[in-house]
Amino acid sequence: MTPSRRCSRTACDRPAVTTLTYVYADQTAVVGPLATYAEPHSYDLCEVHGERLSAPRGWEVMRLAPDPSSLPPSQDDLLALADAVREAGRPALADEPGLVHATRSPSQVVSAGAGRETGRRGHLRVLTSE
Protein backbone atom coordinates (compact mmCIF):
# COMPACT_ATOMS: atom_id res chain seq x y z
CA MET A 1 0.00 0.00 0.00
CA THR A 2 1.43 3.39 -0.96
CA PRO A 3 1.35 6.24 1.52
CA SER A 4 -1.07 9.03 0.73
CA ARG A 5 0.32 12.13 -0.91
CA ARG A 6 0.85 15.20 1.24
CA CYS A 7 0.11 18.85 0.56
CA SER A 8 2.82 20.55 -1.54
CA ARG A 9 2.84 23.66 0.65
CA THR A 10 5.91 24.08 2.84
CA ALA A 11 5.48 22.80 6.43
CA CYS A 12 2.00 21.39 5.74
CA ASP A 13 1.65 17.73 6.61
CA ARG A 14 -2.06 17.32 5.80
CA PRO A 15 -3.12 14.83 3.11
CA ALA A 16 -3.64 16.20 -0.40
CA VAL A 17 -7.23 16.25 -1.71
CA THR A 18 -6.95 18.54 -4.76
CA THR A 19 -4.44 19.20 -7.54
CA LEU A 20 -3.47 22.68 -8.74
CA THR A 21 -2.33 23.15 -12.32
CA TYR A 22 -1.42 26.42 -14.00
CA VAL A 23 -2.40 27.11 -17.62
CA TYR A 24 -0.01 29.93 -18.44
CA ALA A 25 -1.38 30.57 -21.96
CA ASP A 26 -4.85 31.31 -20.54
CA GLN A 27 -3.65 32.86 -17.27
CA THR A 28 -5.74 30.34 -15.37
CA ALA A 29 -5.12 28.33 -12.21
CA VAL A 30 -7.14 25.10 -12.24
CA VAL A 31 -7.97 23.42 -8.92
CA GLY A 32 -9.57 20.02 -9.39
CA PRO A 33 -9.83 16.56 -7.87
CA LEU A 34 -6.61 14.92 -6.77
CA ALA A 35 -4.74 13.68 -9.84
CA THR A 36 -4.14 9.96 -10.18
CA TYR A 37 -0.38 10.49 -10.37
CA ALA A 38 1.87 13.24 -9.03
CA GLU A 39 2.98 15.36 -12.01
CA PRO A 40 6.08 17.57 -11.97
CA HIS A 41 4.23 20.76 -12.98
CA SER A 42 1.19 20.36 -10.75
CA TYR A 43 0.79 20.82 -7.02
CA ASP A 44 -1.15 18.62 -4.62
CA LEU A 45 -2.99 20.66 -1.99
CA CYS A 46 -4.84 19.84 1.21
CA GLU A 47 -8.43 21.00 1.66
CA VAL A 48 -7.42 24.17 3.53
CA HIS A 49 -4.84 25.33 1.00
CA GLY A 50 -7.05 24.34 -1.94
CA GLU A 51 -9.87 26.56 -0.64
CA ARG A 52 -7.59 29.50 0.24
CA LEU A 53 -5.78 29.55 -3.09
CA SER A 54 -5.64 32.90 -4.83
CA ALA A 55 -4.17 33.63 -8.24
CA PRO A 56 -2.06 36.59 -9.39
CA ARG A 57 -3.89 39.74 -10.47
CA GLY A 58 -5.42 39.24 -13.92
CA TRP A 59 -5.52 35.46 -13.55
CA GLU A 60 -8.67 33.38 -13.16
CA VAL A 61 -9.08 30.52 -10.68
CA MET A 62 -11.17 27.66 -12.05
CA ARG A 63 -12.41 25.16 -9.49
CA LEU A 64 -13.57 21.79 -10.83
CA ALA A 65 -15.97 19.79 -8.70
CA PRO A 66 -15.14 16.11 -8.24
CA ASP A 67 -17.27 13.49 -9.99
CA PRO A 68 -19.77 12.30 -7.33
CA SER A 69 -19.55 8.70 -8.56
CA SER A 70 -15.82 8.63 -7.83
CA LEU A 71 -16.19 9.73 -4.21
CA PRO A 72 -16.18 7.12 -1.46
CA PRO A 73 -19.45 6.70 0.46
CA SER A 74 -19.92 9.19 3.26
CA GLN A 75 -20.55 8.21 6.87
CA ASP A 76 -24.23 9.16 6.36
CA ASP A 77 -24.48 6.83 3.35
CA LEU A 78 -23.00 3.95 5.32
CA LEU A 79 -25.31 4.55 8.29
CA ALA A 80 -28.36 4.71 6.02
CA LEU A 81 -27.34 1.43 4.40
CA ALA A 82 -26.82 -0.23 7.79
CA ASP A 83 -30.25 1.00 8.97
CA ALA A 84 -31.90 -0.36 5.81
CA VAL A 85 -30.25 -3.76 6.30
CA ARG A 86 -31.31 -3.85 9.96
CA GLU A 87 -34.88 -2.91 9.03
CA ALA A 88 -35.03 -5.59 6.33
CA GLY A 89 -33.79 -8.20 8.80
CA ARG A 90 -36.42 -7.48 11.44
CA PRO A 91 -39.32 -9.93 11.62
CA ALA A 92 -42.56 -8.43 10.35
CA LEU A 93 -45.53 -8.30 12.66
CA ALA A 94 -48.26 -10.78 11.68
CA ASP A 95 -51.09 -8.27 12.20
CA GLU A 96 -49.67 -5.65 9.81
CA PRO A 97 -51.38 -5.92 6.41
CA GLY A 98 -49.13 -6.68 3.46
CA LEU A 99 -46.23 -7.97 5.57
CA VAL A 100 -44.91 -11.52 5.81
CA HIS A 101 -43.81 -13.09 9.08
CA ALA A 102 -40.06 -13.79 8.95
CA THR A 103 -40.28 -17.34 10.33
CA ARG A 104 -42.43 -18.64 7.47
CA SER A 105 -40.78 -20.73 4.80
CA PRO A 106 -40.89 -19.48 1.18
CA SER A 107 -43.61 -22.02 0.33
CA GLN A 108 -45.83 -20.50 3.07
CA VAL A 109 -45.46 -16.92 1.89
CA VAL A 110 -48.83 -15.32 1.38
CA SER A 111 -49.17 -11.59 1.81
CA ALA A 112 -52.08 -9.30 1.13
CA GLY A 113 -51.55 -7.39 -2.12
CA ALA A 114 -47.87 -8.33 -2.44
CA GLY A 115 -48.32 -10.85 -5.25
CA ARG A 116 -46.97 -14.33 -5.81
CA GLU A 117 -43.38 -15.47 -5.33
CA THR A 118 -41.82 -16.45 -8.66
CA GLY A 119 -38.16 -16.71 -7.78
CA ARG A 120 -35.66 -16.67 -4.99
CA ARG A 121 -31.97 -15.79 -4.71
CA GLY A 122 -30.50 -16.22 -1.26
CA HIS A 123 -32.64 -14.24 1.15
CA LEU A 124 -34.23 -12.12 -1.64
CA ARG A 125 -37.55 -13.00 -3.25
CA VAL A 126 -39.03 -11.99 -6.60
CA LEU A 127 -42.76 -11.21 -6.37
CA THR A 128 -45.16 -10.60 -9.23
CA SER A 129 -48.54 -8.98 -8.91
CA GLU A 130 -51.47 -11.28 -9.55
Mean pLDDT per 10-residue segment, the chain (130 residues): 78 93 92 88 93 92 75 70 76 54 50 57 65
Domain containing 42 equals 18-68
- Considering the domain boundaries, does residue 5 fall inside one? no
pLDDT of residue 112: 47
Is 61 found in the same domain as 35?
A: yes
The residues pairing with 25 across neighbouring beta strands, listed in sequence order, are none
Contacting residues for 102 by C-beta, under 8 A, at least 6 apart: 90, 91, 92
Q: Can you give the pLDDT at residue 68?
A: 62
Do 14 and 6 touch, CB atoms closer than 8 A? yes
Same domain, 79 and 109: yes
Does the residue 31 lie in any domain?
yes
Q: How many domains is the chain built from?
A: 2
Classify residue 59: in a domain, yes or no: yes
80 and 61 fall within a common domain: no
105 and 89 together in one domain: yes
**What is the per-residue pLDDT for 1?**
42
The pLDDT value given to residue 84: 78
Q: What is the DSSP letter of 74?
A: P
Q: How many CB atoms lie within 10 A of CB 28?
A: 14
